[in-house]
Chains A and B, each alone.
Chain A
Amino acid sequence: MAGEVEVLGDVAARTPKDALYGRVVREVAELAGREVPNKLQSNGDGARNDSVFFLQAGPDDSLRLWVGTGTGEPNLRAIRSTQIAPDHPTDLRVSGFTIPFRVASVRMQDGSRIYLGLSERDELRVLRSLRSRFFLLWLLIVLLGFLIVFFTTRRMLSHVRRISEAASRIGHSDIHTRVPTTGRNDEVAHLALTLNGMLDRIENSMHQLHSITDSLAHDLRSPLTAIRGQLEMSLTDPRHADPSLGETSEPIVTAIEELDRLTEFLNTSLDVAEAKADALRLTRTEIDLDDLLRSMVDLYEPCMSERGLRIRLISAGSLKIEADAALIHRMIANLLDNELKHLPAGCVVTSRLQLVDGHAELILEDNGPGFDTEISAHLFECRVKGKGSKGHGLGLAFVEAVARTHSGTVEALNRSQGGAMIQVRLPLSSGQKTENAVSRLATAN
């Protein structure tokens, strides 16, 4: 600005003070005014530019030349009342203008002074509009960023959720399915691929385990079949029916019974081994535990009363689970066999079936001597059995294995009032859950 003032001063000094003088000065002032970007034409007359003025005052402070909007009188008055340092721009407040002019002055040789005033109004306006635009842009960018992050995260998370859902399904049902892959090349796709790779390895080792147990079972069963067959044939052989030889069949009978026990032991220990590796193969059907327990109690009741035991059944009615029938049958038979083998005469066995937290809860309790305190912490481990037990120590390990593969739990403890209690919890079938919900609704209404 000081530079422009000098130019003006220079022009004023050299130019003869004729008619042309005013025009030249006006044009220079116009040019100076045009340098302000984004000028606002205001104060009505439009053509005039009120953000710039040029004023020449005589030595007596009279107005000699005025270029600008209006008469220039207010500006001159303001200049008179303000000390304006030469060669140094000063703020000048002019009545009628809210924003001060920046004024520079230069003294001419003839004692007059030239003032050039520039309003900062336009700059301020430009700055303000820049600021608001910048703020708007910033807001837009932030919003856009937020939206991008939101949708990307949601998409990614939905992917992760699908993967984790698939993974949990795999955990509980079958090992053959895989988590979904996207085919894209990102971290989530990598996660899916890694998971699938892991599942491949698990399936592989499970397959290995199955083929080992299968071939073990096969290799043991074939000779067992042959031996059992031979024994049975020699038992039904008419020569043994001879009364004088009657007693010779006794060892054969014992051998057959031992073979059957061995077979059962083989089956159970392989089942327990597979269940411990979460690899037990299930064929699920819907089982009504109430029905099953009733026929089990029917089956065991005569044998129990033969030994002076009583058995009671307390059940609220039908409770359906989705489970492998053969395994559940063997599990309950196992529990009842246990009671039969370990209880002294006179005891009462209570089997209770109830619905607890969406689970079927089967409780078997007695008022017998309870579990040996020495082994009660290891009841569900293989080969753990009480001192007097003649079993193979797989009974409760098998019960636990079956409950576990059906996503259930088993607890065994000695009751405070004496006797043992075993509690098996198995998840209800989905059908039964809806039934319960419906009946709850019905009672609520």
Chain B
Amino acid sequence: MRLLLVEDEIDIQNFLKSSLKEAGYFVDAASDGRSAEQLAIEGEYDVLVVDLGLPDQDGISLILRLRQLGVTAPVLILSARRSVDDRVRGLEHGGDDYLTKPFALAELIARLRNLLKRNSSSGGEATKLRVLDLELDLLRHEAFRSGHALQLTPQEFTLLEYLCRNAGRVVTRSMILDQVWGMRIQPDTNVVDVHIYRLRGKVDGKGQTPLIRTLRGVGYVLKDQ
């Protein structure tokens, strides 16, 4: 996957470059709008990450310009502004996404993956999810571990489904709040953790290999190997 990163802060550009490379992207970086435009026309990118505050122009105008030039790759907007601009929302409705700074790397990578998935439009939805010996029946809302049914509340089922869909990848608390509860909030209490503990209590029974792992300071991951 080829990714164009447009970010003028060198520190941020550096760590994004290395962590995106680590996540499997071939990354080209630009520090201003003009060189970004040049790169975008010359190279074929699968996805773009654009910071809104560029030294020579507004990120939004860059994106609009690129769209005029025929660049169709999805764009993930990074914004240091507090309230997200209406124009950004407009773009978001057009199939793109935004992330406000500071953000968790895991979230950036998850959103990029979503954008690319949306773009390649995968076929029909599966009715069953399987991760190792964990199986979810999405139609009947039933979950099984090693063939034994798990007694989950609807909320826990949705949470587990979200973890399964992202098996092997880190999900952060704010991603869970956003995707499972539909809220972009930052509680300063451990509300999400408690849900995960409860779910873990049901999924990872005694004598079984624990599937749900906590990555402290980052989030959670459902093991897939």
List residues of chain A with CB under 8 Å of any chain B CB.
Answer: 213-214, 217-218, 221-233, 235-236, 249-250, 252-254, 256-257, 259-261, 263-264, 267, 270-271, 281, 283, 295, 298-300, 302-303, 306, 326, 329-330, 333, 336-337, 340-341, 391
Contacts and interface: CB of A to CB of B under 8 A. Distances in A.
Contact of B15 (A226, A263, A306, A333): A226
Contact of A264 (B81, B186, B195, B216): B186
B187 A283 contact: no
Given A214-B82, A235-B215, 17 more contacts: A214-B81, A221-B100, A222-B80, A225-B12, A227-B102, A229-B19, A232-B104, A233-B15, A235-B217, A236-B218, A256-B218, A270-B82, A298-B155, A299-B181, A302-B198, A303-B190, A340-B189
B188 A281 contact: no
Q: Most A CB atoms within 10 A — which of B18, B83, B104, B193?
A: B83
A401 B86 CA distance: 22
Contacts of A231: 217
Contacts, number: 125
Nearest to B85: A281
A232 B12 CA distance: 12
Contacts of A221: 80, 100-102
A333 B86 CA distance: 24
A229 B103 CA distance: 8
B127 to A, nearest CB: 25
Main secondary structure of the interface of A (DSSP, over half): helix
B interface, size bucket: 35 or more
A224 B102 contact: yes
Contacts of A263: 102, 186
A225 B89 contact: no
Interface string B171-195: 0000001000111111111110111
Nearest to A281: B83
B133 interface: no
A218 B181 contact: no
Contacts of B103: 225, 228
A187 to B, nearest CB: 38
Contact of B217 (A257, A283, A302): A257
17 contacts: A213-B82, A217-B80, A221-B101, A224-B102, A231-B217, A232-B19, A235-B216, A249-B217, A250-B216, A253-B217, A264-B188, A295-B183, A298-B181, A300-B191, A302-B195, A303-B190, A326-B185
A235 B106 CA distance: 12
A306 B18 contact: no
A218 B187 CA distance: 22
B16 interface: yes
A233 B189 contact: no
B188 A225 contact: no
A260 B53 CA distance: 22
A329 B102 contact: no
B183 A333 contact: yes
Interface string B95-121: 000001111111000000000000000
A329 B218 contact: no
Contacts of B155: 298
B152 to A, nearest CB: 13
Nearest to B177: A299
- Identify the 3 closest CB pairs spanning chains A and B, nearest first: A253-B217, A226-B11, A229-B15
B105 A232 contact: yes
Contacts of B15: 226, 229-230, 233
